[in-house]
């Protein structure tokens, strides 16, 4: 849940920053007719929802897959690639499409890497988790 909040907040800040400072119409699907705050809010909500869905997919794979981290990395990589290519297919200004594509690529890669790293770290058996735990006689 905290990853979704951080991802949503980061998407909001980047959108406000790019629209205010540079005049880039990010995200490309909102267009130039939308004000900065509603565009940033919708993009942040989409980023948070996608992060929660990715976390749910990881939990599903943990319960049903033999190699959940590898399966999630493949599924997440394909999804991030599609999300990075999608803005380039829309009829919009090139700078807005490239900026949206870059944001999708960076944030999607970060979410996939974070979830893979957390699951890989928590699934590792630690030395004190064995039969001779600390504090046991």
Nearest to 8 by CA among 137, 111, 105: 111
pLDDT at 71: 96
Domain boundaries, the chain: 2-124
What pTM value is reported for the model?
0.84
Q: 107-111 long-range contacts, Cβ below 8 Å, gap at least 24?
A: 107/7, 107/10, 107/11, 107/47, 108/50, 108/76, 108/79, 108/80, 108/83, 108/84, 109/80, 110/7, 111/3, 111/7, 111/50, 111/51, 111/54, 111/76
List the chain residues with pLDDT less than 70. Answer: 124-137
pLDDT digits (tens, 9 = 90+) for 98-130: 999 999 999 999 999 999 998 887 776 656 555
- Rounded Cα distance between 19 and 53, Å, is 27
């Amino acid at each position: 849940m905290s990853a979704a909040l951080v991802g949503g907040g980061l998407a909001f800040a980047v959108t406000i920053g790019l629209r205010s400072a540079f005049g880039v119409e990010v995200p490309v699907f909102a267009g130039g007719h939308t004000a900065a705050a509603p565009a940033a809010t919708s993009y942040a909500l989409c980023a948070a929802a996608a992060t929660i869905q990715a976390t749910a997919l990881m939990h599903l794979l943990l319960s049903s897959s033999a190699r959940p981290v590898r399966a999630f990395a493949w599924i997440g990589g394909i999804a991030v690639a599609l999300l990075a290519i999608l803005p380039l297919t829309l009829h919009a200004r090139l700078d807005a499409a490239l900026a949206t594509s870059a944001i999708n690529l960076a944030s999607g890669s970060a979410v996939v890497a974070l979830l893979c790293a957390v699951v890989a770290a928590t699934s590792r058996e630690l030395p004190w988790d064995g039969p001779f735990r600390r504090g046991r006689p």
